[in-house]
């Protein structure tokens, strides 16, 4: 064969085509493998060269995160489970409110009683609204003098005065915003009807007392309102019964008024003797253990410190290595 013992020439266009097009032809397949490993190898060489810097940054980050986890004030979450108390309608029991309202509405002087009989009595939504209301917080904060506790950094406990100018002194409005946004949390389980009142604060015993007192104050306020309404309704019904007797109205109307009066009186007696008027406590608040803190989360702080330290160390080693190699 004429080709025996001769080197087979390479086509001229292979390298020329790459060079003519502005590309550099790869020498071999191993060149690509070497280039892929250059980045990792270069970083490892820089890491060995500047290992002290990397270790210092990692240690500093972890130490800082641990220090913050132990130095930041701890907060605990206290919960109390309550069930809204269902009350039947305005104390009228089985009275036919529609017929009674119709009879009373036809009498010129007793139209107000018709409105009373037709009034809805379900107070569950009202109880929820009161529990989270500004008025309830203002009352309790005034009774317990909570503003110096909530804004302790601005209060001089020794001199018992604020350490800020008069125009910066915390108000009940600011206290409510802080309390409602960061401290108190109210959730309702629609399926079971159970309400969870949660207090998150740095004093565990104080958080338990706040949770218990807020439920008790809600019950007391709604009970006082019910007693005032019952007293007003009883007086109104007594006047209505006297007017009906004078005008010689039917026995059915008189019976409806007497039944309404009896049921309203029952409501008055119920409110007088019922301390858990709006909410019945299902699970009372208890003092959490010291390790049950919700903030700061120490394992999370440690993990974040390790991750941040590793990222800082890698970035510093890379930048330091480039600076040294460019000289």
pLDDT computed for residue 220 by the predictor: 96
Check whether 201 has a pLDDT greater than 90: yes
Contact indicator for 270, 52 with CB cutoff of 8 Å: no
In degrees and rounded to multiples of 5, residue 160 shows phi and psi of 55, 55
Res 324: pLDDT: 82
Number of residues written out for the chain = 327
Least confident interval from 35-39, 143-147, 267-271: 35-39
How many H helices and E strands in the chain? 12, 6
Q: Look at residue 223 and tell me whether its pLDDT is greater than 80.
A: yes
> Residues 6 or more apart from 222 whose CB is under 8 A from it?
123, 126, 127, 130, 277, 278
**pLDDT tier at 97 (50, 70, 90 boundaries)?**
very low
263-297 b/e with 16+ CB inside 10 Å = b?
A: bbeebbeebeeeeebbbbbeeebeebeeeebeebe
Domains annotated on the chain, with CATH: 28-72+296-325 (no CATH), 76-292 (3.30.1890)
CA distances from 257 to 100, 238, 316 (A): 8, 9, 87
Tokens of 47: 């890491």
Q: What is the mean pLDDT of residues 212-219?
A: 97
Binned at pLDDT 50, 70 and 90, residue 265 comes out as: confident
Q: Is the model's pLDDT at 102 over the cut of 60? A: no
Quick check: 94 pLDDT over 70? no
Residue with tokens 């109210």: 186
The percentage of the chain sitting over the pLDDT mark of 70, rounded to a whole number, equals: 76
Two tokens, residue 255: 């019976």
Integer Cα distance of 277 and 289 in angstroms: 31
pTM across the whole model: 0.72
Closest CA to 88 of 226, 241, 237: 226
Tell me the pLDDT of the chain averaged across its residues.
81
Residue that has been written with the tokens 């503003």 in this structure: 147
**Digit-coded pLDDT (tens) for 150-165:** 999 999 999 999 999 9
Please report the pLDDT score of residue 274 as a whole number: 86
Q: Predicted confidence band at 305 (pLDDT cuts at 50, 70, 90)? A: very high
- Distances, alpha carbon 138 to alpha carbons 1, 112, 169, 181, in Å: 109, 34, 16, 15
Q: How far apart are CA 229 and CA 227, in angstroms?
A: 5
Q: Is the pLDDT of residue 119 over 90?
A: no
Better-scored residue on pLDDT, 118 or 39: 39
pLDDT in tens, 40-49: 888 888 888 8
| 303-324 average pLDDT score | 91
Give the DSSP per-residue string, 108-137: GGGHHHHHHHT-----HHHHHHHHT-HHHH
Q: Give the pLDDT score at 249.
A: 63
How confident is the model over 122-147, as a mean pLDDT?
92
Those residues whose C-beta lies under 8 Å from the C-beta of residue 74, and which sit 6 or more positions away, are: 202, 290, 293, 295, 296
The answer to whether 25 touches 19, Cβ cutoff 8 Å, is yes
Greater pLDDT, 92 or 270: 270
Name which of 89, 130, 111 is nearest 225 in CA terms: 130
What is the per-residue pLDDT across 49-73, written as a single tens digit (0 to 9) for each?
888 999 999 999 999 999 999 999 9
């Amino acid at each position: 064969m004429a080709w025996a013992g001769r080197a087979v020439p390479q086509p001229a266009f292979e390298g020329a085509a790459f060079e003519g097009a502005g590309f550099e032809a790869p020498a071999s397949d191993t060149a690509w493998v070497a280039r892929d490993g250059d980045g990792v190898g270069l970083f490892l060489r820089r890491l060995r060269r500047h290992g002290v810097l990397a270790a210092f940054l990692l240690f500093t980050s972890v130490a800082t995160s641990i220090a913050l986890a132990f130095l930041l004030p701890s907060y605990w979450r206290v919960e109390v489970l309550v069930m809204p108390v269902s009350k039947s309608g305005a104390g009228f029991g089985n009275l036919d409110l529609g017929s009674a309202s119709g009879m009373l509405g036809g009498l010129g002087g007793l139209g107000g009683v018709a409105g009373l009989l037709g009034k809805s009595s379900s107070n569950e939504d009202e109880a929820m609204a009161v529990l989270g209301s500004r008025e309830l917080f203002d009352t309790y904060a005034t009774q317990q003098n909570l503003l110096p506790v909530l804004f302790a950094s601005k209060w001089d406990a020794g001199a018992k005065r604020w350490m800020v100018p008069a125009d910066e002194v915390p108000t009940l409005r600011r206290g409510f915003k802080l309390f409602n946004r960061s401290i108190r949390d109210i959730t309702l389980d629609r399926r079971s009807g159970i309400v969870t009142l949660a207090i998150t604060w740095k004093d565990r015993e104080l958080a338990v007392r706040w949770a218990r007192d807020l439920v008790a104050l809600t019950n007391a306020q709604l009970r006082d309102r019910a007693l005032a309404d019952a007293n007003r309704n009883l007086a109104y019904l007594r006047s209505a019964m006297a007017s009906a007797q004078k005008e010689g109205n039917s026995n059915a109307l008189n019976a409806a008024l007497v039944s309404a009066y009896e049921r309203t009186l029952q409501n008055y007696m119920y409110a007088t003797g019922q301390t858990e008027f709006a909410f019945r406590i299902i699970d009372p608040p208890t003092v959490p253990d010291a390790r049950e803190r919700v903030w700061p989360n120490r394992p999370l702080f440690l993990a974040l410190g390790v991750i941040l330290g590793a990222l800082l160390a890698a970035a510093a080693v890379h930048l330091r290595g480039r600076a040294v190699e460019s000289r």
